[in-house]
């Protein structure tokens, strides 16, 4: 396969970053990864290398430190594009430590933009954004498209996603050498089919699927479903669950669009990355039980403050413009998450 050039991946050993590196290499790109292991482990790098059967160039650093970050560009002057995952991401923590979140999440992106120009003379950035920018969508706006209004964020974390999008939008207007795409993810779940990389939160999981798999593995006593009195068919919240490997492939499609010299599209574009199908929390739980044949004790608890009732994507723009679509059935996704959990816990 012809080499397509080198892509910088920040937050390289995180959940989505690690899967994206695998897909980049599968698609014929070289990479250089950076991470400071704030919310990940060096062991992830070993696992990526086992999957792709090659050594991954990697530098441990903090992207919000410009002098440190500059080393990457000095060492790898052949970078043609960057995928920017590096960010603090705990919603609750961001409420108690807003300045930390603004400093880290905004400064790392600003540094990336400046270094792209000063070191490479041009910039092509894929930004890891989120459907949280839509807030609680009006029912008539479902499924939600990119033209839906961006609502006031409910946390400093969510606000940094909105502000980073604004930074990119304004910067692409001001600087002729810069292009960017923001991918607004819905709910990434699952693990690589090899069961070598997956979602491994520290402490009590904030996301549903790791809580399900940890309960199935006996790490948690019981799964709590927050609220069964919502205005939905079964009373539980509805989300758009996207397979992490499908999501990773969307980044490759975005990179290829940015580096295509024949592409005369807007210099800043936004795409929803989801399946286009809403699935309730209870449906997901029942799907897991049916697919794995594992006993999963669960009960209903009071609503959790700040939870959106229902949101799912209209991914037609990504389908048509990027040529990307979600491919993996929910049963396969949940099985991949369970296989990953079993591997981590040493369960046969």
**Per-residue pLDDT reduced to its tens digit, 238-297:** 999 999 999 999 999 999 999 998 888 899 999 999 999 999 999 999 999 999 999 999
Least confident of 88-92, 101-105, 118-122, 344-348: 88-92
What pLDDT shows up at residue 63?
98
Inform me whether the pLDDT recorded for 225 exceeds 90: yes
What pLDDT shows up at residue 41?
94
Inform me whether the pLDDT recorded for 1 exceeds 80: no
What pLDDT shows up at residue 265?
85
Strands 268-273 and 58-60: unpaired
**Per-residue pLDDT reduced to its tens digit, 107-153:** 999 999 999 999 999 999 999 999 989 988 888 889 999 999 999 88
User: Is the Cα dihedral 36, 272, 307, 297 positive or negative?
Assistant: negative
Mean pLDDT of the 59-73 span? 98
Inform me whether the pLDDT recorded for 164 exceeds 90: yes
Mean pLDDT of the 330-339 span? 98
Nearest to 311 by CA among 262, 213, 258, 241: 241
Inform me whether the pLDDT recorded for 82 exceeds 90: yes
Residues belonging to the chain: 348
Displacement of CA 39 from its chain's centroid (Å)? 14
What pLDDT shows up at residue 306?
80
Active-site positions read 157
- Name the percent of the chain lying above pLDDT 90: 87
Domains of the chain: 6-189+241-274+314-326 (3.40.50.720)
- Longest Cα–Cα distance of the chain, Å, equals 57
User: Is the Cα dihedral 262, 184, 116, 18 positive or negative?
Assistant: negative
Helix ranges (DSSP H) in the chain: 15-26, 43-52, 66-75, 91-96, 98-115, 156-174, 208-216, 244-259, 281-292, 316-317, 330-345
């Amino acid at each position: 396969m012809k080499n397509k050039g080198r892509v910088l991946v920040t937050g390289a050993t995180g959940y989505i970053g690690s899967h994206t590196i695998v897909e980049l290499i599968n698609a014929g790109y070289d990479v250089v990864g950076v991470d400071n292991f704030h919310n990940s482990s060096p062991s992830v790098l070993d696992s990526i290398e086992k999957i792709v059967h090659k050594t991954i160039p990697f530098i441990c650093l903090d992207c919000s430190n410009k002098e440190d970050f500059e080393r990457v560009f000095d060492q790898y002057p052949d970078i043609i594009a960057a995928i920017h995952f590096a960010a603090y991401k705990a919603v609750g923590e961001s409420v108690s430590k807003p300045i930390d979140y603004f400093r880290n999440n905004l400064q790392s992106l600003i540094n990336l933009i400046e270094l792209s120009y000063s070191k490479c003379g041009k910039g092509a950035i894929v930004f890891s954004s989120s459907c949280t920018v839509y807030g609680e969508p009006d029912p008539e706006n479902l499924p939600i498209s990119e033209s839906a209004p961006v609502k006031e964020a409910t946390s400093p974390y969510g606000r940094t996603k909105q502000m980073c999008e604004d930074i990119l939008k304004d910067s692409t207007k001001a600087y002729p050498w810069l292009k960017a795409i923001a991918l607004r993810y819905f709910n990434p779940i699952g693990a690589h089919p090899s069961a070598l990389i997956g979602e491994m939160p520290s402490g009590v999981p904030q996301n549903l699927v790791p809580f399900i798999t940890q309960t199935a593995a006996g790490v948690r006593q019981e799964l709590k479903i927050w609220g069964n009195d919502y205005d939905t068919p079964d009373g539980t919240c509805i989300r758009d669950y996207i397979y992490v490997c499908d999501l990773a492939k969307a980044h490759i499609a975005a990179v290829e669009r940015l580096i295509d010299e024949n592409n005369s599209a807007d210099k800043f574009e936004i795409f929803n990355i989801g399946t286009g199908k809403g699935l309730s929390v209870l449906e997901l739980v029942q799907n897991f039980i049916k697919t794995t044949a594992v006993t999963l004790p669960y009960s209903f608890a009071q609503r959790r403050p700040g939870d959106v009732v229902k949101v799912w994507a209209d991914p037609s723009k990504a389908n048509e413009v990027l040529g990307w679509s979600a491919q993996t059935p929910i049963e396969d996704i949940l099985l991949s998450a369970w296989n990953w959990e079993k591997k981590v816990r040493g369960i046969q």
